[in-house]
Amino acid sequence: MLIDLHCHTLPLSTCSALEPGQLVELARERGLDGICLTEHDRAWPAGELEALRKRTRFPIFSGVELTTDQGHILAFGLDDPRGFSAIARAVYEAAKACGALLYLAHPARDGLLKVTHDTVEFFMSVEAVNGSDSRLQNMAASGLAQGFRLPGIGGSDAHTAAEVGRAATRFPTRIETQAELLEALRAGTYEAVALEH
Ligand SMILES: [Zn+2]
Ligand SMILES: [Zn+2]
């Protein structure tokens, strides 16, 4: 099952040009089996997410992409009604307390790998394939992922129609609920893939 674990939509991510319905339509057309909405520093309200699922009849999961002092962090299973911290260590403590999983997004985008001796414990792994990054950046990210306890994930980081479906994470099992997604991530039996479309 192919799930794009990194997508942005309007209006929650103001930098995106994609409406949620349009994203789902394109994802389906391009052979994805599910998407995970990871807006910048905002989580989808549960009711709206459920309504989108019902309307589109497509597997839609939710995470968040947090802007922190250690770079962008993709968080899955992190629910914080008081808002998210911009301090990576605080995000890590919150994730540890609720069993959420953190991945460092596009770790080679700025030309340097940001993980240090002090911050490596924050992350389950990194985003090994990012659809908006270059091949070289993804090669560096994939290499970095080898040093972590779980494999690297893949996602398009789509903000526009052209970017939808460029990368995803392939899971061996059928995933229907948010709990199943977290379980499958924790199991680590997935791989990041770059896709052609
Ligand atoms: Zn980012
Ligand atoms: Zn992003």
For residues 38 and 63, the answer to whether their CB atoms sit within 8 Å is yes
Examine the pLDDT at 190 and tell me if it is beyond 90. Answer: yes
Report CA(55)–ligand 1 centroid distance (Å): 28
Q: How far is the CA of 4 from the centre of ligand 2 (A)?
A: 12
- The CATH number linked to 113 is 3.20.20.140
Spatial CA neighbour of 191 closest among 157, 142, 148: 142
Q: Which tokens in the block code for residue 103?
A: 């991945």
Q: For residue 77, give the 3-state DSSP assignment.
A: coil
Residue 64 CA to ligand 2 centre (angstroms): 9
Q: Domain span at residue 48?
A: 2-194
Q: How remote is the CA of residue 160 from the centroid of ligand 1, in Å?
A: 14
Which stretches within the chain are classed as H helix? Answer: 20-29, 46-56, 88-98, 135-145, 178-187
The number of the ligand nearest the C-alpha atom of 67 reads: 1
- Domain count along the chain: 1
pLDDT tens digit string along 20-69? 999 999 999 999 999 999 999 999 999 999 999 999 999 999 999 999 99
- The DSSP annotation for 6-21 comes to EE--TTTSTT----HH
Task: Give the pLDDT confidence of 107-122 residue by residue, as tens digits.
Answer: 999 876 778 888 999 9
